[in-house]
Amino acid sequence: MKQKIVTGITATGKLTLGNYIGAIKNLINLQDQYDLFIFVADLHALTTYIDPEQLRKNKKDIFALYLACGLDPEKVTLFFQSDISAHSELNWIITSITNMGELSRMTQFKDKTQNIVKQENGTETIPVGLFVYPSLMSADIILYNPTYVSVGIDQKQHLELCQKLVKRLNKKYNLNFNEPKPLISKIGSKIKSLQDPFLKMSKSDKNENSSIYLLDDPEKAYKKIQKAVTDGENKIYISEDKPGILNLLTIFASLKDITLEEAEQHFKNKNYKDLKEEVGILVKNFLESIQKKYKKTLEQIETISKIGKERASKIANENLLNIKKAFGLK
């Protein structure tokens, strides 16, 4: 029996090149070796307000792009989180064994609440969903009892909380769930913003030149690469002190399936103009290829998501039932 991997992408914005390099590409490479359960995290998108029509579009785009990028529905289970009611039901059970202190220590919660705008009377409106988000993430994982969870570096703290909750669940209720281990891509695990290479490339960035979106016009994406922030040295080599150059080298290496060192060697004796030109053309060609497939996969969403729902529901409902019995709910 293959070991299981669970992962999902929140439907809060458009998928970026960073999502592909840091997450999806790695899943494609693993789909023959592991039993993958991959979902569009539409419930997580509700932690802050999102326009309903935008959410519907985001969901479809992400699902279609999963397929267009190369995930094979014959090998992996693809589904929408909200199609499996067990996610919401287990969320409440897991929330009940999660402590306030554990949630308040989550750095993502602290970061996101800093951007909350005060109302006219001076009070702040912080959605409860933003606070308990890690409990739902833990429920998403526990439902499928995986060996590994594919996560970005920024989600590692949430997974550590999940591990702690699984221990608590097993010890207090005599259960035997796996303590899931993180699976983080070795290269490109955190592709940076093109305009501020100290920040990650985000699918919800307000500066459109900061991110390359998988559905960007390819020519527009090429131009974004030409505008990418670098430095004044005009020498290409691997260094944490050159975040803009390191970011472009990482993108090049990832799309070429070579190491960073090989990318560095490729650009030996070349300048920043050469680097941006080659990376720009590579990204442009990649997007053209993905987008041709995307138009076809849009038509397959209903059929494939229905099959994914049936597969995921079977396992999720079995594990939920065991937990409900352990809690005295059955």
59 catalytically annotated: no
314 catalytically annotated: no
Classify the C-alpha dihedral 238-244-248-254 as positive or negative.
Answer: positive
Strands of the chain (E only): list them. 4-10, 35-41, 77-80, 148-150, 181-183
Residue 277, class by beta-carbon neighbours within 10 Å (0-12 exposed, 13-18 middle, 19+ buried)? middle
Task: From the candidates 112, 164, 256, 276, give the one annotated as an active-site residue.
Answer: 112
Q: Which residues pair with 77 in a beta bridge?
A: 37
Contact 158, 131 (CB under 8 A): no
Tokens of 239: 């260094």
Distance CA 316, CA 330 (A): 16
Task: From the candidates 4, 192, 200, 224, give the one annotated as an active-site residue.
Answer: 200
Pick the closest to residue 23 from 151, 117, 144, 186 (CA basis).
151
Classify the C-alpha dihedral 266-271-274-276 as positive or negative.
Answer: positive
> What 8-state DSSP symbol labels residue 21?
I
Task: From the candidates 59, 60, 203, 224, give the one annotated as an active-site residue.
Answer: 203
Q: Which residues are catalytic?
A: 112, 200, 203
